[in-house]
């Protein structure tokens, strides 16, 4: 049974002027134990809002509809207290900027032991021992001394490690990582990715990894969901997606990024236009205005997510082959 099963999830925000903005439209997905599910998308794709909706962490004017079952238990509509309990103990979330989740006035040790005292009812001594073990687990050396330090005394990469250690204290079944390496240098990013992979193998934790960086996806994800304009465009396992993509948007993303391991010459392939404005989404496929394979019905009718191979889905009307995108020489 999957750890998390999301059915027909939509997230809408009420705007100041009285309208609504749909950030996520009718998304269904599942996350299995021990896998890394990569979520790729640009700004306005709804990649973060989906998960904030699932976790009950939307901004006050936001509302999630549909269903999200965690280990068989419905999350949407759960009381604040029950959600908090679940979030602390069985689901964890790591953010782009760890400083948003760490209290700058308390020592790291204090914040970590608090988690254990609250969720596992440990006494302080035992909690402290456990925290030292957790810091060592994320390869922070000199852990006992580090416990007394405050968040600002750590570098960005170290802070993210502390955040991971803190989240892993309760051995969650599901870890949601929202662009955890975007602010970090590539060298530190590599270390954090390796650490997450190690933890997954050790504890069989399901990891949802949200990012805009296809390189990171290629490195860490087992399965990938490509999002655009609040909808799923394509879903496949990572090898299939990179080798045998079937959606024009995926094609555009993969073809337009230069690679660090190959020298490209001339012009890069591009996706025309700009990311979608959620307040003015087109009636049909959100990607239609930028799509080179656009047909008349794309503008009026949202294509369904249909399978195009084993465990490979896409939402696109286009039937012919891809490869029309202007290519780099």
Partner 1 sequence: MNALREMSEASAPRAPALLEVDDLAVHFHVPGSGWKERKRVLRAVDGVSFGVAERETLGIVGESGCGKSTLARALLRLVPATSGHLHYAGRDLLALDAKSLRPLRREMQIIFQDPLAALDPRMTVGQIIGEPLRALRPELPRAERHARVLAMMQRVGLLPNQVNRYAHEFSGGQAQRIGIARALAVEPRLLVCDEPVSSLDVSIKSQVINLLQELKAERALTLVFIAHDLASVRHIAQRVLVLYLGRVVEIASRDAIFARPMHPYTRMLFAAAPIPDPDAARRMRDAPVRGEIPSPFNPPSGCAFRTRCAFAVERCSAERPLLRDLSGGQVACHRAEELLDQARVPV
Partner 2 sequence: MSGAPRREWFNWYPGRSAAARARALAESEAVRGRSLWQDAWARLRRNRAAMVSLVVLGIITVGCIVLPWVWPYSYAQPDWNLLDHGPTLAGMHWFGTDGLGRDLFVRVLYGCRISLMVGVVATLVTLLIGVTWGAIAGYVGGWLDGLMMRTVDVLYSVPFIPFVIVLIVLFGRNIFLMFAAIGAVSWLDIARIVRGQTLSLKQKEFIEAARAGGVGNASIIRRHIVPNLIGIVIVYVTLTIPTIILFEAFLSFLGLGVQAPMTSLGGLVSDGANVLQSYPYQLIIPSIFLAVIVYCFNFIGDGLRDALDPKDR
Q: Which residues bind partner 2 (CB under 8 A)?
A: 16-17, 272-274, 276-277, 280, 289
Task: Give least dist CB 263 to partner 1, A.
Answer: 6
Nearer to partner 2, 30 or 256 (CB): 256
Q: Choose the one of partner 1, partner 2, none that binds residue 123, judging by a C-beta under 5 to 8 angstroms depending on kind.
A: none
Quote the crossing angle between the two packed helices 186-203 and 156-168, to the nearest 10°.
10
Task: Give least dist CB 234 to partner 2, A.
Answer: 22
Measured CA to CA, the distance from residue 244 to residue 254 in angstroms comes to 11
Q: Choose the one of partner 2, partner 1, none that binds residue 38, judging by a C-beta under 5 to 8 angstroms depending on kind.
A: none
Contact in structure between 324 and 292 (CB atoms under 8 Å): yes
Task: Give least dist CB 51 to partner 1, A.
Answer: 19
Nearer to partner 1, 151 or 157 (CB): 157
Nearer to partner 1, 160 or 170 (CB): 160
Nearer to partner 2, 76 or 328 (CB): 328
Q: Choose the one of partner 2, partner 1, none that binds residue 107, judging by a C-beta under 5 to 8 angstroms depending on kind.
A: none
Contact in structure between 90 and 173 (CB atoms under 8 Å): yes
Measured CA to CA, the distance from residue 251 to residue 270 in angstroms comes to 10
Measured CA to CA, the distance from residue 131 to residue 194 in angstroms comes to 21
Measured CA to CA, the distance from residue 259 to residue 21 in angstroms comes to 35
Task: Give least dist CB 282 to partner 2, A.
Answer: 8
Q: Is 160 helix (H, G, I), strand (E, B) or coil?
A: helix
Task: Give least dist CB 148 to partner 1, A.
Answer: 17
Cα angle, residue 72 at apex, residues 70 and 78 outer, rounded to 5°: 60
């Amino acid at each position: 049974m999957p750890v998390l099963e999301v059915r027909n999830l939509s997230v809408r925000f009420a705007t100041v002027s009285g309208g609504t903005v749909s950030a996520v439209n009718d998304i269904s997905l599942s996350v299995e134990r021990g896998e890394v599910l990569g979520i790729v998308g640009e700004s306005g794709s709804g990649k973060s809002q989906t998960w904030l909706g699932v976790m009950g962490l939307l901004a006050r004017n936001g509302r999630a509809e549909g269903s999200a079952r965690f280990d068989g238990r419905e999350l949407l509509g759960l009381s604040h207290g029950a959600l908090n309990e679940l979030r602390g103990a069985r689901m964890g979330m790591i953010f782009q900027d760890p400083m948003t989740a760490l209290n700058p006035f308390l020592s790291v040790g204090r914040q970590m032991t608090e988690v254990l005292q609250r969720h596992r009812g440990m006494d302080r001594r035992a909690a402290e021992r456990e925290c030292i073990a957790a810091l060592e687990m994320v390869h922070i050396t000199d852990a006992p001394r580090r416990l007394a330090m405050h968040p600002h005394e750590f570098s960005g990469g170290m802070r993210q490690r502390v955040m991971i250690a803190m989240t892993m204290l309760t051995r969650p079944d599901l870890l949601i990582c929202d662009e955890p390496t975007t602010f970090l240098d590539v060298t530190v990013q590599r270390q954090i990715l390796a650490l997450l992979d190690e933890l997954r193998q050790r504890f069989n934790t399901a990891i949802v990894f949200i990012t805009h960086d296809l390189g990171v996806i290629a490195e860490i994800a087992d399965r990938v969901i490509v999002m655009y304009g609040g909808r799923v465009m394509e879903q496949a396992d990572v090898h299939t997606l990179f080798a045998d993509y079937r959606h024009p948007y995926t094609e555009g993303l993969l073809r337009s990024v230069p690679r660090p391991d190959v020298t490209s010459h001339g012009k890069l392939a591009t996706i025309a236009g700009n990311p979608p404005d959620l307040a003015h989404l087109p009636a049909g496929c959100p990607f239609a205005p930028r799509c080179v394979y656009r047909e008349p019905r794309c503008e009026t009718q949202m294509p369904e997510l249909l399978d195009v191979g084993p465990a490979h889905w896409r939402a696109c009307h286009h039937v012919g082959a891809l490869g029309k995108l202007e290519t780099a020489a």
